Amino acid sequence: MYAIDIKIKLTSLWKDEVLSNTVTHFFGQALTGQGIKNVYKDVMNEAKTVYLLKGAHGFQISALLQKLGDYYYDKGADIEYFYDPLFDNTIEATFVKAPYNTLFLQATNPSIEPIFIGKRDHVIALDDCVNKQQLSPNTELETQQTYYEKCFNALSNAIKIHDDWEIETQKHMNWQGLDNQYAELVTNLFGQNKLAKRSTLTHRLLGTLTPAGARDTLQSITQNLERRLFIKGYPGTGKSSMMKKLAQEAANRGFDVQLVWCGLDANSIDMVILPELKFCIFDSTEPHVYFPDDNRPGDEIFDIAKHCHPTEIEEENIKKIVAKYKAAIAEATHFVKLYAQEERKIREMIDNALNVEAFEKRTAGLFELGEI
């Protein structure tokens, strides 16, 4: 099991009352076989107001985003934090939910530009809070770029190896059996129910590769759900396709849908959440292996492996493919660790050159939001 080590603040005392608001943790970016994927433009579309923090891209931005989350949490808002895949507990964005519906986003790397400037989107320029004379040229830029390229070459190779794995399992998949199992799930979930409204679609990431290996925030994402289905099955046996199909079925019936994307394959779904049903279904195979929790009665296995029976020959081929796949992931992890080490030097240099007084003055107004 892989899970990010983040302390989750679930309740707090404010004015002698216990707050029932929650904090949820996500990764904002994923290092995938197709390059870096982020969901920030999708999250921006959920917000009524967006503040893009441009410049001063050191760790002080993360500290500010944490303070903003703490401040509005204590005012009763649900909070979503989005984390940098390169560094533990480094926040890239804080989404303050109702009644504020405001997203604070580090928008330097990745570079996120305003779409509705002056209306929904507001830019907080922080470049001039950094003393440029204290910044030294990055003499290791070429080395850092080499690490970056080698990391993504290895991830791209891992995707190709994974495709070979899928070919082996698909040879012996009983697709009719899966179709029947899916039809039973749809009937069980929805019956004849349709909601008299238009479905809302949102997007998140389940996890990503980090310098410490594969990490996810599944337990935080699913903390408020009552029913969780854990898919068990081989690669290539239709997990992602089935979840996309279920998401479309739910949307057609007027239910809101959250698609939670894979941290390795940018085109693959790892989880579907139906908030109104307090339900999710997710791929609980490598690298995010989970099993039902005895303390959560709504947890159950959704076994599609029973529809696939590779021969001994395919099983031997799969063992060889798995070994190659794990070697490619290990290579990618090695290079992302080296890349992060170089990136840390740059961010610490920026922090050391930061005029803290100017920075705090420039961002003070972010703590004075009105309710929307």
Number of domains in the chain: 2
One domain for residues 290 and 230: yes
One domain for residues 44 and 116: yes
* Nearest C-alpha neighbor of 190 from the set 244, 252, 259: 252
DSSP secondary structure code for residue 364 in this structure: G
What residue type is 154 in one-letter code?
A
* Domain assignment of residue 361, given as a range: 13-130+354-367
Query: pLDDT tens digit string along 242-298?
Result: 999 999 999 999 999 999 999 999 999 999 999 999 999 999 998 889 999 999 999
At 191, the pLDDT band (50, 70, 90 cuts) reads very high
Query: pLDDT tens digit string along 57-90?
Result: 999 999 999 999 999 999 999 999 999 999 999 9
3-state DSSP assignment of residue 246: helix
In a domain, 65, yes or no: yes
d(CA 53, CA 351): 15
One domain for residues 104 and 209: no
Beta bridge mates, 95: 80, 103
One domain for residues 213 and 301: yes
In a domain, 347, yes or no: no
One domain for residues 104 and 183: no
DSSP secondary structure code for residue 7 in this structure: -
Q: Rounded to 5 degrees, what angle do the CA atoms 128, 132, 134 make?
A: 135
Peptide bond preceding 99: is omega within 30 degrees of 0, i.e. cis?
A: yes
In a domain, 98, yes or no: yes
One domain for residues 183 and 70: no
Query: pLDDT tens digit string along 203-226?
Result: 999 999 999 999 999 999 999 999
In a domain, 234, yes or no: yes
Beta bridge mates, 302: 231
* Nearest C-alpha neighbor of 30 from the set 347, 281, 269: 269
One domain for residues 111 and 179: no
Quick check: 26 and 271 in contact, CB under 8 A?
no
Rounded mean pLDDT, 226-243: 94
What residue type is 360 in one-letter code?
E
Rounded mean pLDDT, 307-318: 86
One domain for residues 76 and 183: no
One domain for residues 86 and 191: no
Phi-psi region of 213 (alpha: psi -120 to 50; beta: other; left: phi over 0): left
pLDDT at 313: 81
Judged against a pLDDT cut of 80, whether residue 154 lies above it is answered with yes
pTM of the entire structure?
0.92
pLDDT at 139: 66
In a domain, 301, yes or no: yes
In a domain, 158, yes or no: no
Q: Which range has the worst mean pLDDT, 131-145, 182-196, 259-273, 300-314? A: 131-145
Judged against a pLDDT cut of 80, whether residue 36 lies above it is answered with yes
d(CA 174, CA 305): 10
One domain for residues 49 and 124: yes
One domain for residues 275 and 360: no
At 1, the pLDDT band (50, 70, 90 cuts) reads very low
d(CA 102, CA 79): 10
In a domain, 195, yes or no: yes
pLDDT at 13: 31
In a domain, 322, yes or no: no
d(CA 161, CA 321): 7
* Residue 229 parent element (H or E): strand 227-232
Burial of 262 from C-beta contacts in 10 A (0-12 / 13-18 / 19+): buried
